[in-house]
Amino acid sequence: MTGRAMTRVRWWARCWKRKMADPLPSQFARDMARRRFLLGMAGGIGSLALAGCGSRADAQAAGDSNCRASPWETDGPFPADGRGGRDRRINVLSSRDVVRRDIRPCFAGMEGEAEGVLLELELQLVEARFDCSMPLAGHAIYLWQNDAAGDYSLYNRRDVNYLRGLQVSDSEGMVRFTSILPGCYGGRSPHCHFEVFASEEAALSGEESLLTSQFAFPEEACRAVYESDARYGDSLANLERWPIARDFVFRDGDAEVRAMQVLALSDNGANGYFGTGRIALSL
């Protein structure tokens, strides 16, 4: 096992204690031998070593003083990328159907669609070493999140694979996803996960990510939705117990880092929200 892989195991054991479940549907299984080989080759890249649990030490280089690189965060629960979670055989990145903007429906032969308040999300990928002024085109961002009830597809909702998708950054470093505002489940503030890859082919062929991290959602907007939409169940009560300040992923960052990790949300006037965020890599 590579040092990077061991770090992931230790992180998971300390920070995300969840009961293991039975294997997931076989249609997403793939031959992991090639992926393990590729990950082993990538394991020696020391500058991308995962930071220890509870630490805000960036896995990326420091970057310009006026533009801090986005920090590494745990990829749990279950990224479904063939590397971690309950079943490493499950890898949605083995299917080109995952390359899509609208991540609400299921794909690759599975049925169902995530219900919830519409979210049009726009993320910009930039190079941190140039004061975040240089967009990074041609990179792939894999995004996944829980649904309104707080469930993750292929995790505690084994019958669906929605709310997972991959997009490639354009000339301005932009990627766009159509999703829903996620619910708030016990133990976490509302959030989404993402991985950045060097290219679409890198993501789909099993190469190691350049960054794995998370975004938080503004509490005010989430609270307004949770109060008025019954589809979000216990989300309001969970948010009151686990605001961003108590979330184990975001609480140990200073004010500047935490601000980087909170998406900006605005009402789009169509019973939904428009969200923006910036991801800064130091390559």
Quote the domain boundaries for residue 236. Answer: 3-281
Determine the pLDDT at residue 46: 32
Angle at 198 between CA 197 and CA 199, to 5 degrees: 90
Residue spans of alpha helices (H) in the chain: 3-15, 33-42, 200-204, 219-228, 235-241, 255-260
Domain CATH code at residue 155: 2.60.130.10
Q: What is the pLDDT of residues 205-259, one digit of tens each?
A: 999 999 999 999 999 999 999 999 999 999 999 999 999 999 999 998 888 998 9
In terms of Cα–Cα distance, which of 188, 200, 209 is closest to 279? Answer: 209
pLDDT at 84: 60
Q: How many independent structural domains does the chain possess?
A: 1
Mean pLDDT value across the chain = 82
Packing angle between helix 33-42 and helix 3-15, nearest 10 degrees?
100
Is residue 164 scored above 50 in pLDDT? yes
Question: Residue 179 belongs to what H/E stretch?
Answer: strand 174-180
pLDDT in tens, 167-178: 999 999 999 999
Angle in degrees, CA 98, 104, 107, rounded to 5: 40
Q: H/E/C letters for each residue in 33-88? A: HHHHHHHHHHCCCHHHCCCCCCCCCCCCCCCCCCCCCCCCCCCCCCCCECCCCCCC
